[in-house]
Amino acid sequence: MDFVGIAQSLTPLKVMRFNLLADWLQWQQSLNPKEIDLGLGRVSSVLKKLNFSADFFCPVISIAGTNGKGSTVAFIESILHQSDISVGCYTSPHLFNYNERIRINQQPVSDEVLCEAFEVVDQARGDIALTYFEFGTLASLVVFKKFNIDIAVLEVGLGGRLDAVNVINADVSVITSIDIDHVDWLGDDIEVIAREKAGIMRPHKPCIVSIFCPPASLLDYARQNKVPLISLGKDYLFQGLSNNSWQLNTADLHLDNLPAPVLKGGFQLQNAAAAIMAIKLLGLRLDMGNENIGKGLLHARLAGRYEQICDQPPIIVDVAHNEQSARMLQDLLNENPVKGKTIAVVAMLADKAVSEVLAAVSPKIDHWVSGGLAVNRGLSSKNMAQAVRDVQSGVKLSPCETVTDACIKARTLAAANDRIIIFGSFYTVAEASEFFKALNTH
């Protein structure tokens, strides 16, 4: 069955608060005075008013982690689609368009579908002041029900236990990685963060732990709540092979000569292995042989993850914005050397571990070009430039006001054998990608 051209929409409602998606999104941002307001009380109340229960109408895979969530979702989504299984995915944040957050069979839903789903949520909520993220989470469930999908894949936005996504019981949960991020909300203690992420687990429902040495608090939570863990290195193993392929092994599953994913980085094998295990644990009647899995790995796409958007010189964008993802970015730069110099365009949010991120990547950078982010929590151009100087005194640095200005400056600095790497935030990658896209169309 081919779901790519799906055009079905929600049943239109007689009166809508707004007719345009942009108006809906602007209004949602002002509905709750807090941008981030963790807790399940509001979203649980509206869920009931929508006549949904915590046990969703179809199997659910929920994914939490510091890094790797988006890639794991992309692999699950692609493999299921190649297996003719209808899949709905809810992810965040988006790069270019809000529609990217809610997808049916790898296709973002239309503005019309989103607006009508928002209206359904709005009529159900009464006077409950949902946050922007909560509104989107509930709208995704409305969309999934309307399209009658076979499987829902939900990506946790922040933490796990108190994230709006956790209002739905997962049939299979996945923990991709655990590191320090979102300190203002989750703290700076790995054990505390791990326990928050473990909150997406459910008693007697399997959890894939895609971590070689999980924190003790995660293991304790699983034991106390009778959660069967399927742990990397203990219950399943993956191994890269010399012919650019890899294999996945469990006690009762052996997949050999799997193609390397299109997504760059050796760590993507870890995400792909977790994705395959999650699908297997759903117990679906689908062909789990190499063919569908292989096609899924080769057709998985995720913008902004070490993505080359221009040639001559090569320009690469990466949404790395915490220390762990910055270390992965440095590894990729090491694995893909250039003859010339590496020029970095960087702009970040103020509440990130800015110095740690810069320090992780700095050994590979020959010239920095900093920019400011004019968004909520964005680091000013002045403070971004100072952060670079603080990490690398005497470094070659070209401070700029905006990301666009920084991209223009980086192009003037780059010779034929050089490369430009742009990173630090989803906002940074989005602005830079839009700039170069417009440049290449003229």
How many beta carbons lie within 10 A of that of residue 262, not counting itself?
Answer: 14
Q: DSSP assignment, residue 264?
A: -
**What domain count does the chain have?**
2
pLDDT for position 394: 85
For the record, the structure tokens of 148 come out as: 């009658």
The reply to whether 282 and 316 lie within a common domain is no
The reply to whether 295 and 311 lie within a common domain is no
Mean pLDDT lowest for which of 132-146, 174-188, 192-206? 174-188
Are residues 43 and 163 in contact, defined by beta-carbon separation less than 8 angstroms? no
Higher-confidence residue: 78 or 241? 78
Domain boundary among 260, 278, 299: 299
Residue 407 included in any domain: yes
Are residues 293 and 276 in contact, defined by beta-carbon separation less than 8 angstroms? yes
For the record, the structure tokens of 387 come out as: 């952060």
Whether residue 187 is predicted with pLDDT greater than 70 in this model: the reply is no
The reply to whether 284 and 315 lie within a common domain is no
pLDDT for position 94: 95
pLDDT in tens, 108-167: 999 999 999 999 999 999 999 999 999 999 999 999 999 999 999 999 998 889 999 999
The reply to whether 150 and 172 lie within a common domain is yes
Strand partners for 88: 104, 152
pLDDT for position 10: 46
The reply to whether 348 and 247 lie within a common domain is no
The reply to whether 284 and 355 lie within a common domain is no
The reply to whether 211 and 340 lie within a common domain is no
How many beta carbons lie within 10 A of that of residue 337, not counting itself?
Answer: 9
Report, as an integer, the average pLDDT of 294-318: 94
The reply to whether 366 and 317 lie within a common domain is yes
Are residues 309 and 317 in contact, defined by beta-carbon separation less than 8 angstroms? yes
For tokens 């020029």, what's the residue?
343
Mean pLDDT lowest for which of 171-185, 245-259, 361-375? 171-185
pLDDT for position 285: 58
pLDDT for position 209: 97
Distance CA 401, CA 410 (A): 13
**4 confidence band (pLDDT: 50, 70, 90):** very low
pLDDT for position 392: 83
Whether residue 25 is predicted with pLDDT greater than 90 in this model: the reply is yes
How many CA atoms, within 13 angstroms, populate the side-chain half-sphere of residue 57?
15
pTM of the model: 0.92
Mean pLDDT lowest for which of 9-13, 16-20, 272-276, 411-415? 9-13
First to last CA, the chain: 39
Residue 12 included in any domain: no
Long-range contact set of residues 234-242: C-beta below 8 Å, sequence gap at least 24: 236/273, 236/277, 238/269, 238/270, 238/272, 238/273, 240/266, 240/269
Q: Percentage of residues in the chain with pLDDT exceeding 70?
A: 93
pLDDT for position 15: 79
Residue 59 included in any domain: yes
Residue 8 included in any domain: no
pLDDT for position 5: 35
Residue 16 included in any domain: no
Question: Residue 334 is part of which domain span?
Answer: 307-440
Residue 372 included in any domain: yes
Q: Percentage of residues in the chain with pLDDT exceeding 90?
A: 78
Length of the chain: 442
The reply to whether 313 and 292 lie within a common domain is no
Distance CA 26, CA 18 (A): 11
**14 confidence band (pLDDT: 50, 70, 90):** low
The reply to whether 285 and 356 lie within a common domain is no
The reply to whether 257 and 354 lie within a common domain is no
Distance CA 130, CA 276 (A): 34
**289 confidence band (pLDDT: 50, 70, 90):** low
Higher-confidence residue: 382 or 5? 382
Mean pLDDT of the chain: 91
Residue 426 included in any domain: yes
Residue 5 included in any domain: no
pLDDT in tens, 53-75: 999 999 999 999 989 999 999 99
Which CATH number characterizes residue 357's domain?
3.90.190.20
Which CATH number characterizes residue 52's domain?
3.40.1190.10
The reply to whether 342 and 223 lie within a common domain is no
Whether residue 186 is predicted with pLDDT greater than 60 in this model: the reply is no
Whether residue 3 is predicted with pLDDT greater than 90 in this model: the reply is no
Domain boundary among 277, 299, 321: 299
Judged by DSSP in three states, 66 sits in coil
**185 confidence band (pLDDT: 50, 70, 90):** very low
Domain boundary among 299, 326, 358: 299
